[in-house]
Structures are given as C-alpha cells and as structure tokens.
Chain A
Amino acid sequence: MTGTRGPESLTRSRRPLGGGRYLWLILWERPWLVAGTAITSTLWALPGALLPLVIGHGVGAIDARSWRGIWLWALVAAGLGVAQSAFSAVSDFLATGLRLHGVRRTQQLVTAQLARAGTAVRDATTVGEVVTVTSSDLEYIGNGFTVLGRVIGTAVGFVVVAVALLGSSPVLGGVALVGVPLAVLGIKPLFTPLQRRTAAQRERFAEASALGADIVSGLRILRGIGGEQRFLRRFRAASQRVRESGRPIARSEGVLSAANVALPGLVTVVIVWWGARLALDGTLDVGELVAFYAASAYLVVPVTTMTEAADALSGGLVSAHRVLAVLAVPPTRSDPPHPVPLPDGPLSLVDTESGVRVEPGLLTVIDAGEAGAPLADRLAGFADTAPGEDVLVGGVPVRQVALAELRRRVVCAHHSDIWFSGVLREQLTPAHPSLMSVSAAVFAADADDIVNALPAGLDETLGERGWELSGGQRQRLNLARALATDADVLLLDEPTSAVDAHTESRIAERVAELRRGRTTVVFSQSPLWTRWADRALSLRAAV
C-alpha cells in the first residue's frame, strides 16, 4: 500500500512546493479514492436534499386527504433513509482512507527526509519542532483531507435543492441560488482574521509544546538536581500565552457563529415570506410552502459545511507549510558534481591542518586531547576543513568522494553515538555486507558477557537508547557495532572511555588483531592502546 511514486518525486520537485500544491500532489496519488469519496459523498447528500420535496408532497397529500399519496411519500422517505445510511457509511470509510493516506504519506516523507538529511534537520530546527510536525501537523493535514468529501457532497446537494426550487418557483429558486452563495461570501471575510489568529495561536502552542518536550527530555536531570520550579514557571508563562492568544479567536468565533445563524437565516426568511404571500395568492399550495421552508432550512447545511471546511483546509495548509519547512532542509553535505572513486584496498589519511598522516593498513593511536573529536570529524568528512587546508583519503580530497562511498569505506564511531532501540542482532549487522561476523565483532569489543546476560541473547530487544544497560556496556556495544562494519578505515573516538583497565586492555589487543591489515585510527590517551599501536602520534607536544 505504499505510494505509487517514491517520496523523492515530491521533495525533489523542481518547482518550489507551496502548501497547497503539496496537498494536491499527495491527493492525486490516490485518484480512485478521491473519485470514490466524491461520488459516495454526493449520493450521501442527495437524500437530505430531496427530503424537503418529500415533506412538501407529504403535507400536500395530507391536505388533500389522499391516503395513497401519504403512503407513497412515507415509503419514499423511508427509502431515502436507507440510501442515505448506506452512502454515509461508505463515504465516511473512503474519506477516512483519504485522511490515512495523507497522514501516512506525510510521515513517510518526513521519515525519508530524516534518513537523507537527519543531521541537517536536527541542526536547522529543534528536536521538539520535528516531533510537533509528526504529531499535530499530521493531524491537521489529515483533517483537511477528511472534509473534502463532505464539501463535494454538500455542494451537489445545494445545486439539487436550488434546481428543484427553480422548478417550483423561478423567483424563489433564484433567491436561494443567489442568496446562499451571498451568505457564504458574506461569512468569508470573517474567516480571514480567524485564520490569522488561529495561526498565531498555533505558533504559541508549538513554542509551549517544544518547551514541554524539552522539559520531558531533560526530566531525569531536573528531577536529579532541581530547577523544576524554574522550568514550570517558564512553561506556565508559555502556556498562558497560548491561552491569551485564544481571546481574539473567541471573539472571531463568536462573530462567525452568529453570522452562520443570521445570514443563511435571512435567506430562509425571504423565501418563506415570499412563499407565504404566493400561497395567499393561490400561486403556491401549502405543501409547496412547507417544502420551501424545509429546503431553505436545508440550505443552511452547505453554508456551515463550507465554513467548517474552510477552517479545516486552512489548518491543513498551515501544517503543510510547516512540514515543507522540514522537508526543504538540504543535507549538510551533498555529492560532488564529479565524484572521484577511492582506490581499492587499505586507505591512507592525511589532514593538512594538523599535519596528521595515517599510514594505510596500520593501527594508529592519536593522543589529541580535545582536538581529537574535531580531527575525527574532519577525517570522516563530517566537518569542513579550514580554508586552504584539506583532508585526503587514499590520496583523494574528501570533498570529491561520493558520500555513499565515503560512508561505506570510512566509518567514524563517536563516543556520543547512541544505541537505537530494537533487536540487538539487527543493529550489530552492518548496513553494507561485510565478511566480519557479528560474533567476532562482539568478542573483540569484549561484549560477550553483555549478550550472554540478556535472556534472549542477540535476539533481545533493547528499549529506547539502550538505557537498561550501563554506560560501559553501551560503549562496548557501540564499539562492536562499529567493528562489525569491517570498514576500510575505522575511526574510533575514545572507544573505551567508560570501561575499566582490564577490559580496555583486552579490547585494545583484540581490536588490533581483528583490524590487522586495515586502517584503524583510535583517539585515546590510554597507554593500553599505545601498546598495541603500529604508530602512536601525539598532537599535544605541538600545541
């Protein structure tokens, strides 16, 4: 049931996407669903629209004391009830399908965008912002899609009633046909301030929501050391700003709600008043007058539906804009126009800024202190080099290597890497096929005991960020995960900072053995690593 076209077709479209166009493109991925919703919604609206005529004829039959007529119109009313019921259920089913499609596709696009440019998105927005987009904005887009069917149905219902009125009395039909759209148009300007104010409130709410998300994310720290009151005060202030921004909305809603009663109501009054005068003349019979009243009462429905739909659609548009803001973040690094392939076999590394040269196929231990992490970032192409400086991987400037190839052949494991939730084995199995077995990597990282202590071993599912393990245990699993990639170049930033000396010594020996013949760079100050290093560098003397 995934989309017929990949998400890229939407996000990488040449024209800059507007919110409306985005929703439109998503919608047209399911033409049959759209058509089905439109048709069933129309069929659902028809019985309601025809009911005034049935009532009118029924009253006419009563007036004429015609039992045949009474029974006939009673049966027609019952038949309309059954038809309305069936189409209402089916159209709701299809409209929900449309909503689910919109929600699912948007979530898929955001997920794909995170896979494509996750770090860039995190830096460009906030974690809370992304979470808001995948929660409330998803709902708003879904709601916008849900009302589509009803809009189509009621529009058709309106036309049917108006035509029927025109048939009975061209004047009254004309009043309805002109009056109701006028009422809708009269209400429309009232919507603009409401929309503006609603958008403003949603901004306030997004701020409060992001603050709440931040508090919850750092809850363990707040509960550990204090500051709850300070943060609660900040949240309360943000929350009260949301409440305050609801005040002008309330006023707009009040005016709108009054107009929703008064404007279509005035059209009703004109029709009934005129109709009553015609009935007095004898131009219209009583049944027809009742039908006119019922029809004009029905005409309120399209008006309210349209105003509600406008509300839902504008909410969906605002959300589509917010989704697009996330989707439009470009990846931090894009592929060079003319990628240069890396040479086969073990690779050397050169960083001109620090003067570090790493020989191919050797284990190099670098004692760089605080300069270690930025150096690792430069070597793996995560951070830019200073102007005039360069990083060469296997002799090729790092900027000229295709990103996928670079990530496959040069793996950089950072000590702030997180362990994702999920089945242990799945995460330890590298993304690219490698000759290294998971168990060899686990052994080298001295993580056998962790795996063995888990009830299901490698098939155990770990929760969010592996928080049920200790810091040292997570670090060893992270190391095993990096080793399992069997990359040509492996950069390990402080890989054993959270384990004891015995363990560190075992790990250093095993990693040296496992990585023999491949380029490995370890950033560490521990003599236990230096012991096994082919080359040891210190950047401290230079500083």
Chain B
Amino acid sequence: MTGLPLATPRDVRRWAVTTVRGRKKEFGLVLGLFCLATTIGLARPQLLGAMVDGIDGGTTVATIDLLAGMFVTVLLLQALARGAARVRCRLFSEAVLADTRERFVANALRLSLETAETAGTGDLLSRATKDVSRLNQAIRHAVPELLIAVITVLLTAVAMVVTAPLLSLALLVPVPLLVAANRWYQRRVPDAVLGALGSWAAVQAAVHETVVGARTAEALSLNQRRQAATDALLHEAVRREQLFRRLRLTWLLSLDVCYLLPIAVMLPLGGLAYGLGWAGLGTIATVLAYQQAMITPLNDALLWLQELQVAAAALRRVLGVHPRPAAARTTPVAAKSPAGKEITVTGVRFGYRDGHEVLHGIDLTIPCGQRLAIVGPSGAGKSTLGRLLAGIATPTAGSVAIGGAEISHLPEDVRRGEVLLLTQEHHVFAGTLRDNLALPAQPAGGDWTDAEILDALAAVGAREWAAALPDGLDTPLGSGGHPVPAAKAQQMALARVVLADPHTLVLDEATSLLDATSARELERSLTRVLAGRTVIAIAHRLHTAAVSHRVAVLVNGRIAELGSHTELLTAGGPYAQLVCTAS
C-alpha cells in the first residue's frame, strides 16, 4: 500500500507566502501592532536609566514622581497595543486555519478514485484530524508568541546598540555557539518530527480499524490481539518521541549558556566604560535591563520555532493531500469527448504489480443498452475488468474506450456522467437518509424532491424500510445515528445510482450482501428502472446471468466464453458446468 505523499518544504513556504499575500492588510496590521507594543515597552529601561542618572547626579522627588507617572503611561499604552495585536492576530489565525482545513477537504474531495483507494482511510483520517488539530495549536499559539518574541529580540537589540554601542558588543559573544547549536539541531529535527507524526498516524489508523471492526474482533475473540497490535504501534510512537527528546536535551544544554553570558561580559565592559567616562551609570543600568529583558523572548522564540517545525511537518502532511494529475491523465487525449455510448475493449492487459499480470488480453464490445453479465471463479480478474470499464484504473496495455474516447483519460466529472461503478463497499454517512441519498447532482441543478428520492428507494425495494424510520427521510443515520444493516446500506448505494441515472453502469457484486431472494427481487425491479441503460453486472449468482442479454465467462484473466445464456448452455463449456454445479 502506497501512502499519500508529503508536500515538500518548498510547498510549505509557498503556502506561507500565498497565505500572507492573500491577507496582506490583516497581516500588516498584526505586525504593526506588535511592533508598536514592543517599541513602547522599550521606553521602560530608558526611564530606569533616567532615574539612576538622576539619583547619581542628585535630583528632586518631583522628577522621580514625574518619571514614575511616565512609566505608568508607557505601561498602559503598551498593554493597549499588545491587547489589540492579540485580538487581530487571533482573528487572522482563525481565518488562515479555516482556509487551510477547507482547502484540505476540498482537495481530498478532488483526489482521483485510484489515489483515494491506494491511500488508505487511516492515513487520510489522521491527516484530516490529528494533523489539522496540531496545526490549530501551532498557528493559534506559536504564531503570536513567535511574532512577539522575534520582534522583541530584534527591537531590543537595536535599542541596545543605539543606547551604548560599546556595551552591545557583549551581545556578539554567544552568537557562534547559538548559531552552531541551532544549525546542528534544525538539521535533525524535521526527520525526527516527521517520523514521530508518521508513527502516531499508524496508532490512529489502528484505533480506527478497531472501532470499525469492533464486532468482528468481539465475535472472534480478537480483542486482545487488536489491543496488543495497537500497543505495539504506540510503543514505536513513544520510542520515536524519545529520540526527539534526546535531541532536545543536547540542544538545550548549549542554549541557556548563551542567555546569561552577555551579562557576565557586560559587567567588566561597563566597569571599563564607566572608569573611562564613556558611559554613565544610568546607561549601563539601561543596557543591563535590556539584556535581561531579552532572555525570555529569545528563549520563547527558539522554543516556539520548534513548535512551528512540528506544525510545518503536520502542514506537509495536510498539504500533501493534493489532486496531482498523473502524467497519463494530462495527455491531449483527454480533450476528446465520447461520440456515442458503445464500449470497446481491445487487447487489454493489466497488473497491479510488475510481473504479476491479472488480465491477459481482453477484447470485448458492449453495445449501448445491453445487459452483460461477467461471471467466473473468484480471483479471475472480474473486479479488475470492472474497474477498467469504469475508467478507475488505466490498462497496462490496450484500450478501454467509450464512444471512441479512452475512459480512463476522461476528466472525472465527464466520466461520471458516462459510467458509474458500484461495488459492495458501502459507507453510511453521518447525516440524514436524505443526505445519504442525494449525492448525485440533480440534472436540473436544484435539490432532489422527496418524491424522486422515494421513487429511487422504491426501485431498490427499500421504500417500506425508509417509511418505517422514525423521521422518514430526515432520520439521522450513520455513526451515532439510526443503525443501518449492511443489506440496507447496499440498497441505499443502489438508490443513489438510480438517482444518478448514468447511461452505463458497472455493478460489481452490488447485491451480494442481500439474501438471494431479496437480491433477485431487487434486480428485477432494477432491470425495469434501468431499461435502455448499458448494465455490466459482475456476479457469482447465476440468476443475474440468466436474465442478461449476454454472458462473458472470465477464467484466469481471459474471456473463456461469450454469448447468451442459452447459447452458452448448449455449448456445454465452462458456463454450462457452472450452471450445472449451482443447481
């Protein structure tokens, strides 16, 4: 199973740039307000310096009181600016997060069926929930904190240099260590974080599978084993986190020295400057206060930066869900639209893996309006042929065309109007029965009426069931709603198809979850509803074949026999044997 790709770091950068560009005004406002708040705050050590100089040189109580009053004013202004910045920043974050998660779902909904199948629900789920939630945490908290911290560090450094250039030289002392430690760390962090996120995703996928298969596990006493499997994955996730924790240990060891070192250097420098008369005591006090004020934001900046890296890793997983057209899909053939409804299969070969071919040269023509049944032993390649006929997979060699256009090259929405594949896989969405059925686009562009939906339910023999539901079409179903037995879920899937009304339909064991009698009744009523449509029915139940116009018998990836039910019976070949066995 190949998982979904990760977006590259470049994609993440591009995302950041376009996000900021798309909300230039809001972002500018946030940035401006944070700068304003920090700049106002920088006046505080200057006021301290003025007090110290005043005391050193002798001043009045009135001056001290005045300075204290200014202190209060500065403080209130800073608080006001900081508060406003936080409000704006949160609103900005909420907008960005909403955009990102909506774009994720929109992109997921545009994934090709092929990608959606190979990706696995667990991986997608973990991206849709855990990674999006990690992103929430990081953008809501890391972005404002990091902005405040970086702005404070930069502006404070500028203020120090302006106040006392000589003393500010002390700032340079820890720079080499700071740079070296961070380079070492940043080079190792992305892999460690991605590894940890990936293994948490595996834990979640296991939990999801356990919840979905809860009944199976209980019936077969597999509960303990599911628990052990999940615990083993959890163990791996924790092990990865511990690797990450060790990395941090080394990094932090070298980091904190850097904060206090400049103060140690500043004291003798200050003594020298004061002795030579280059700097007053007030200036020295101001600069020391600045240096002290820089420690917390510098530390915050580095810690939040790391939080941001976790977010970037999560973002790579979120942005990785992107409908990238496969190379074959962008060929100019795509431009050609089908002329007619006849399906022609010529020399089709197909394999899921190299050297493991499932279909070995299939030739078949299905005229419009024909009911074709495909039968054959389990594993003969029937479902694979169905997927090719519906254009979900592309043949390794040969062609599957509808009205002369290669099906798998058609754009998804065009293809869906031509041919639909219905398998025995079903999912009941958390929503009302109406939500569950009204998936296909209504031809007139509006909503499906109750009458249309009820007719579709009647066509699949589920109208009585629907009528018996507590709130009829508005009964909530799915996880947490009214329970839907598997057979009913399958009937719902068929009702959707009836609403969609494509001219060609591939039914892959679409009634297999129903008992034989109900299945036969359902197929009879479907035949009436779908009269005139091309229907390709893959089935092991032979009554389906008996009512079809033609039957294709697939054995070991080849068409062994093709003809009407009666023709094949008289031929006495594999089909006749199958019928003989079944009765």
Contact = CB atoms under 8 A, between A and B. Distances in A.
Contacts of A373: 485, 487
Q: B52, B258, B271, B378 — which one has the most chain A CB atoms within 10 A of its CB?
A: B378
B583 interface: yes
Interface string B421-461: 11111110111000100111100000000000000000000
Interface string A260-280: 111001100100110011011
B125 A122 contact: no
A465 B216 CA distance: 12
A107 B234 contact: yes
Given A272-B51, A290-B52, A498-B378, A89 B256 contact: yes
Contact of B219 (A93, A130, A414): A414
Contacts of B352: 468
B271 A220 contact: no
B117 interface: yes
Interface in B208-265: 208-227, 229-231, 234, 238, 241-242, 245-246, 248-261, 263-265
28 contacts: A74-B267, A77-B260, A81-B260, A81-B263, A85-B252, A89-B256, A93-B248, A115-B226, A132-B129, A132-B133, A135-B126, A135-B204, A205-B136, A209-B128, A216-B125, A221-B425, A225-B422, A225-B440, A254-B87, A269-B68, A269-B72, A272-B48, A272-B68, A280-B61, A286-B56, A294-B288, A417-B220, A420-B209
A265 B72 CA distance: 8
B214 A118 contact: yes
B261 A121 contact: no
Interface stretch (A155-163, A338-346, A436-444, A521-529): A521-529
A527 B261 contact: no
Contact of A218 (B110, B429, B540): B429
Interface in A52-68: 52, 54-55, 58-59, 61-63, 65, 67
Interface string B260-295: 110111011011001100000100110011001101
Interface in B280-330: 281, 284-285, 288-289, 292-293, 295-296
B5 interface: no
Interface in A422-458: 422, 426-427, 430-432, 449-450, 453
Interface stretch (B158-166, B511-519, B557-565): B511-519
A215 B129 contact: no
A450 B420 CA distance: 28
A223 B84 contact: no
B412 interface: yes
A189 interface: no
Contact of B479 (A128, A228, A251, A273): A128
Contacts of A143: 137
A407 B256 CA distance: 59
A75 B264 contact: yes
B83 to A, nearest CB: 3
Interface string A267-303: 0010011001101100000100110011001100100
Interface stretch (B186-194, B334-342, B492-500): B492-500
B245 A96 contact: yes
Given A59-B288, A213-B128, A232-B106, 18 more contacts: A1-B238, A58-B267, A61-B267, A84-B259, A104-B234, A111-B210, A111-B231, A139-B137, A215-B108, A216-B121, A227-B438, A258-B79, A297-B293, A417-B215, A421-B209, A464-B209, A498-B540, A501-B578
Contact of B281 (A260, A286, A453): A286
B86 A240 contact: no
Contacts, number: 548
B150 interface: no
Nearest to A124: B480
Nearest to B131: A135
Contacts of B112: 223
B271 A65 contact: yes
A127 B211 contact: yes
Contacts of B207: 110-111, 114, 130-131, 134
A222 interface: yes
A168 interface: no
B109 A47 contact: no
B117 to A, nearest CB: 6
**Considering residues A63, A122, A412, A497, which has the most beta carbons from chain B within 10 angstroms of its beta carbon?**
A497
Contacts of A293: 48, 285, 289
A286 B61 CA distance: 15
Interface residues of A, number: 184
Contacts of B211: 114, 118, 121-122, 127, 130-131
A463 interface: yes
Contacts of B245: 93, 96-97, 100
Nearest to A221: B427
Contacts of A65: 271, 274-275
A119 B291 CA distance: 60
Among A81, A224, A234, A476, the most chain B Cβ lie within 10 Å of the Cβ of A224
Contacts of A192: none
Contacts of B281: 59, 62-63, 286
B261 A413 contact: no
B214 A470 contact: no
A258 B288 contact: no
Given A89-B252, A131-B204, A528-B582, A136 B292 contact: no
Interface in A32-46: none
A220 B87 contact: no
B61 A277 contact: yes
A290 B132 contact: no
B220 A482 contact: yes
A450 to B, nearest CB: 7
Interface string B476-503: 0011100101110000010011001000
A114 B227 contact: yes
Interface in B80-118: 80, 82-88, 90-91, 93-95, 97-98, 101-102, 104-106, 108-113, 116-117
A498 B424 contact: yes
A120 B509 CA distance: 30
Contact of A135 (B68, B104, B129, B213): B129
A252 B206 CA distance: 39
Contacts of B234: 104, 107-108, 111
B395 interface: no
